[in-house]
């Protein structure tokens, strides 16, 4: 794919973009047709010579490449090369035939991500039109694999995956996702489509939340849903349409509730975390169709804490009890019973990683006592040693005294 941002559309583009002067054109509300702006490389190539430097201005196409990275309802993502900065980038290009509504959503995605500058959210570098008159935006290319692929490898018993992603490492991955959500929620946005396929794990371990195509301001109005691209992101029910992926929806999102808040995103995040830790989806036993998944999201509870086989996968040991309690709270059907914010969840998980396990059952009590006993030994080694030897002697003396009666 060669992306010439300055090439004017040909007659063949008539079915893709309407007349800019038309009220139905994506460009109708702009002061001028943006396709007239020629954007090519502006930086010169620098050639070192014996007699000095030579600057060669080539005016090449800015973005070139043709490797498909992914495709969805709103467009396709391809790997491209930025010839000005000399780096690989990810280029999301809208599907042809974009309507006014689709363009509005595309523009909102660009501006939403543009407002969310955070290490765990993929940044946008540029936006433009290609030689076919199709809108695109350019993002940082994250070399790595999706969380969906990581879970598949773990569930298959991949030894390398289990060595790299033990339980603690998986918690750190989830913390990256929570930090992205904390920032988005603080800026007033809901993601609404959290799932493993939308989380990238970079080659250096970075965690990036992607695909903000159906994000919306908290409490904001829904954009019109009459364009084909957006229809592909809708789930149609007998009561109307809801937005998102049924298997990862909160109960209120599955019901089509209009008053979603941050707890809806946090429920979906916990569904992702549950799948990452247990290597099975909590609705795997439900019918694998839209009605079955929606009813499961609204009704199916997690197994009780005491049902440890349900929290254990054949390829790994039992899930640590502190994370069982964490998930049980995070996936309550009553949103008032869940975690209230991403920051609260981050604090809880960081405490668990540090060994400060919240006491919620006999197992968590045992872990907490063991941890505190270890800290006591570290702080008072001589006293701990004395108690270690004194305790059996004290116990023996007590038994002898009792036996004499």
Please give the sequence-ordered ranges of beta strands (E in DSSP) within 180-271, or none if there are none. Answer: 189-190, 199-202, 207-209, 216-217, 234-237, 240-243
The catalytically annotated residue of 4, 193, 211, 227 is 193
* Residue 310 CB-density burial (10 A; 0-12 exposed, 13-18 middle, 19+ buried): middle
| Six token digits for residue 239 | 């009561």
Number of residues that make up the chain: 405
| Six token digits for residue 373 | 């006993």
193 is a catalytic site residue: yes
Q: How far apart are CA 225 and CA 236, in angstroms?
A: 12
* Residue 192 CB-density burial (10 A; 0-12 exposed, 13-18 middle, 19+ buried): buried
Q: What is the separation of C-alpha 317 from the centre of its chain, rounded to a whole number of angstroms? A: 26
* Host H or E run for residue 367: helix 362-379
65: phi then psi, degrees, rounded to nearest 5: 155, 165
- Residue carrying structure tokens 């371990």: 205
Q: How far apart are CA 193 and CA 212, in angstroms?
A: 8
> Do 62 and 84 meet the contact criterion of CB atoms below 8 Å apart?
yes
Q: Residues 6 or more apart from 299 whose CB is under 8 A from it?
A: 251, 333
Sign of CA dihedral 16, 225, 230, 146: positive
What residues are labeled active site?
Answer: 193
């Amino acid at each position: 794919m060669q992306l010439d941002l300055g090439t004017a559309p040909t007659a063949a583009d008539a079915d893709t973009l309407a007349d800019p002067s038309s009220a139905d054109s994506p460009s109708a509300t702009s002061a001028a047709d943006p396709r007239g702006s020629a954007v090519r490389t502006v930086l010169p190539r620098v050639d070192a010579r014996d007699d000095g430097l030579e600057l060669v201005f080539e005016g090449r196409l800015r973005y070139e490449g043709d490797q498909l990275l992914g495709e969805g309802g709103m467009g396709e993502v391809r790997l491209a090369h930025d010839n000005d900065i000399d780096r690989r980038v990810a280029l999301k290009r809208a599907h042809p035939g974009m309507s006014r509504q689709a363009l509005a959503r595309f523009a909102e995605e660009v501006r939403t991500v543009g407002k969310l500058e955070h290490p765990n959210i993929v940044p946008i570098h540029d936006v433009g039109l290609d030689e076919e008159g199709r809108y695109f935006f350019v993002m940082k290319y994250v070399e790595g694999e999706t969380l969906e692929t990581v879970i598949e490898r773990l569930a298959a018993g991949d030894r390398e995956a289990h060595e790299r992603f033990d339980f603690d490492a998986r918690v750190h991955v989830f913390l990256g996702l929570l930090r992205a959500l904390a920032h988005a929620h603080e800026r007033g946005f809901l993601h609404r489509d959290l799932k493993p396929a939308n989380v990238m794990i970079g080659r250096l371990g970075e965690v990036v939340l992607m695909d903000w195509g159906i994000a919306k301001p908290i409490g904001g109005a829904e954009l019109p849903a009459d364009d084909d691209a957006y229809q592909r992101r809708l789930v149609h029910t007998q009561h109307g349409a809801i937005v998102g992926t049924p298997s990862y929806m909160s109960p209120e999102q599955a019901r089509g509730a209009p008053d979603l808040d941050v707890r809806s995103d946090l429920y979906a995040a916990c569904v992702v975390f549950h799948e990452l830790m247990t290597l099975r989806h909590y609705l795997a036993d439900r019918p694998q169709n839209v009605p079955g998944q929606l009813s499961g999201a609204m009704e199916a509870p997690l197994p009780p804490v005491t049902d440890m086989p349900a929290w254990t996968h054949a390829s790994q040991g039992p899930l640590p009890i502190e994370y069982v309690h964490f998930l049980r709270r995070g996936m309550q059907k009553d949103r008032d019973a869940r975690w209230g914010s991403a920051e609260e969840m981050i604090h809880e998980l960081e405490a668990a990683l540090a060994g400060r396990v919240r006491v919620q059952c006999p197992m968590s009590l045992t872990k907490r006592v063991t941890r505190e006993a270890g800290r006591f030994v570290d702080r008072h080694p001589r006293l701990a040693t004395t108690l270690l030897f004194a305790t059996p002697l004290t116990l023996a003396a007590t038994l002898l005294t009792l036996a004499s009666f």
